[in-house]
Amino acid sequence: MKLTFPGLMLITMLCMLSLSVAAADKTPMKAMLLTGQNNHNWQLSSPILKTIIEDTGLFIVDTVEAPPEGGDFSGFSPVFSDYAVVVLDYNGDDWPEKTREDFLTYVQEGGGVVVYHAADNAFPEWPEFNEIIGLGGWGNRTEKHGPYVRWEEGHLVYDMSPGPGGAHGKQHQFVVTHRDTEHPVTRGLPETWLHAQDELYHHLRGPAKNLHVLATAWSDPETGGTGNHEPILFTVSYGKGRMFQTALGHAGNEAPPPAMQCAGFIVTLQRGTEWAATGEVTQEVPVDFPTETQVQLRPKFKKDSSAAQTEAVKEDSTQ
């Protein structure tokens, strides 16, 4: 075939177009990590969350620190709409009215939200926030905020019994069970896996509208739990927006926190963050995802060190 000059031009242009499409695919999305107040050690957890989310290669994370407790919030006005997803590691003072409105507009118009651990304690008196997070705890939450939700015999039970929302027993390792194995966040992952030592939140309650539970954990009365299968990973749709919540990942004074090193916590958070941002998950299932009997830690929160560690463990087991 003889190529004419216009033909060559066309091929060149098509090549450039496909290259630019490939490059566009790899442009990281912007994620906002909102922190600055928490009853937990946010100074410890927030850099770890940034490491975990950036380790996907999908996001650049900007950390936004709210003013300290009792501080001046008059200038606190993050531009949520600049971001594909907002990750909340915040449990503290109320935001100004305009900031709240901006946040609601952002979610209604399709913004992604990730609620991490005690961020579900925030804003008990903000009804729309409670709708977005689906379930929350503490902050004097009661039956007025919505039902307790638990998993029983293959479906969710909404329990309007009176009582406080949010508690946990003693920290321990526990098995997480996926209740939807076809959702983008959980698809391809082991259905059950052993989580590293953590708090197991129970008796969360909230509006639970458009709530979809991805995973539960059995709350053992012997460690101070309820004897129920408690929601641990779940989503809510709000307007055009998507919320992913992980109740896991307690960060206290122990550094590095075991719960945040767990590959199961890390990978479900990474996948949940991508899903909240785009509605899809493109991440591969890692080799070091925990099994039902074996906790897997990533001491530096990144997949490289853990992959090496997993291989080392495998070599050991063959000797």
Question: What is the binding site for Zn ion (CB under 5 A)?
Answer: 199, 250
Q: Which residues contact 215 (CB under 8 A, 6 or more apart)?
A: 176, 177, 178, 179, 186, 231, 232, 233, 234, 268
Rounded Cα gap, residues 26 and 267, in angstroms: 20
Q: Is the dihedral of CA 206, 104, 42, 211 positive or negative?
A: positive
Q: Least Å distance between CB 22 and Zn ion?
A: 42
Residue 42 or 106: the one with the smaller Cβ distance to Zn ion is: 42
Residue 93 or 199: the one with the smaller Cβ distance to Zn ion is: 199
Rounded Cα gap, residues 273 and 53, in angstroms: 8
Residue 184 or 206: the one with the smaller Cβ distance to Zn ion is: 206
Rounded Cα gap, residues 309 and 297, in angstroms: 9
Q: Least Å distance between CB 149 and Zn ion?
A: 19
Q: Least Å distance between CB 128 and Zn ion?
A: 24
Q: Least Å distance between CB 95 and Zn ion?
A: 22
Question: Strand 59-65 relative to strand 29-35: parallel, antiparallel, unpaired?
Answer: parallel
Taking CA atoms, 287 is separated from 57, 72, 175, 280, 291, in Å, by 17, 46, 19, 21, 11
Q: Least Å distance between CB 285 and Zn ion?
A: 27
- For residue 133 the two structure tokens come to 């997070």
Taking CA atoms, 154 is separated from 157, 201, 208, 299, in Å, by 10, 20, 17, 35
Q: Least Å distance between CB 116 and Zn ion?
A: 10
Residue 58 or 200: the one with the smaller Cβ distance to Zn ion is: 200
Rounded Cα gap, residues 67 and 77, in angstroms: 11
Residue 202 or 250: the one with the smaller Cβ distance to Zn ion is: 250
Q: Least Å distance between CB 118 and Zn ion?
A: 5
Around Cβ 188, how many Cβ atoms within 10 Å? 13
Residue 131 or 199: the one with the smaller Cβ distance to Zn ion is: 199
Cα 80 to its chain centre, rounded Å, is 17
Q: Least Å distance between CB 308 and Zn ion?
A: 30
Q: How many residues does the chain have?
A: 319
Q: Give bridge partners of residue 178 from the DSSP assignment.
A: 215
Residue, CB closest to Zn ion:
250
Q: Which residues contact 306 (CB under 8 A, 6 or more apart)?
A: 263, 286, 288, 296, 297, 298, 299
Residue 117 or 145: the one with the smaller Cβ distance to Zn ion is: 117
Residue 10 or 255: the one with the smaller Cβ distance to Zn ion is: 255
